[in-house]
Amino acid sequence: HLHWQFWKSEGPLPVEQASTRTVLTKMVPAHTELPALATLSVQELVDYPIRGFKIVSGAHPSQRAQTAAFVAQCVQYMVQHRVAYNLVVSSRGRGAHVYLLPRQLGARHPHYGFVAGFPEIAGYVIMLSEEDYVNADLQALDSYFVHNVSLPPRRFASLRRRL
C-alpha cells in the first residue's frame, strides 16, 4: 500500500549525508535549451545502515523529467518483483536528489515497537517516551536497520544489476 509523507527539515536528513559511490552514469538526450548531453548519476549509499541509491539530476526541468522517468522505471521493477521501498526526494543544492531505498517488509522493532517508516528510513528514529530516548542503544538500532530493514546483500546486488 502507498503512503505519502512530507517532511520539512531545516538541515539535511541523515540519508542526505551518507557517503556514496557512483554505480551508473546515464546520458540523457540533449534539448535545445541544453548545450550538451546531460547526465543522470546513480550512486550507491556506502556508509548508511540501509542499502540504497541516490539518483542525482541536473537543475534543468528536462533533466528532472528524465530523472523522474528513470525513477519510475526502477519503482515499476520493484513493484513487479514485490520489493518494498521508500523514496526520499530532496531539492537541496543544485538539481534534485532521489533516494531510492529498497527494503525488507516491515519488521516491528522488538523493544521500541515501531515498524520503520519514512522518518526512520531517512535517519530519524522517533521515540515515544523519554525513557526510550534516554535508554536508546544506538548500536542495537543500527543492527536492527542493517539486519531487519535493509535488503540482504545478495538481493540488493541483484537489484543493482537491473539498473
Please write the tens of the pLDDT for every residue from 101-144.
999 877 666 766 667 777 788 888 878 788 888 888 888 888 88
Instruction: Specify which residues 45 forms β-bridges with.
Output: 20
pLDDT at site 105: 79
Q: Between these two residues, 10 and 103, which has the higher pLDDT value?
A: 103
Percent of the chain with pLDDT over 90: 31
pTM of the entire structure? 0.83
98, 89 Cβ separation under 8 angstroms = yes
Amino acid symbol at 115: V
64 pLDDT above the threshold of 70:
yes
If you search the block for the grid coordinates 530523472, which residue do you land on? 67
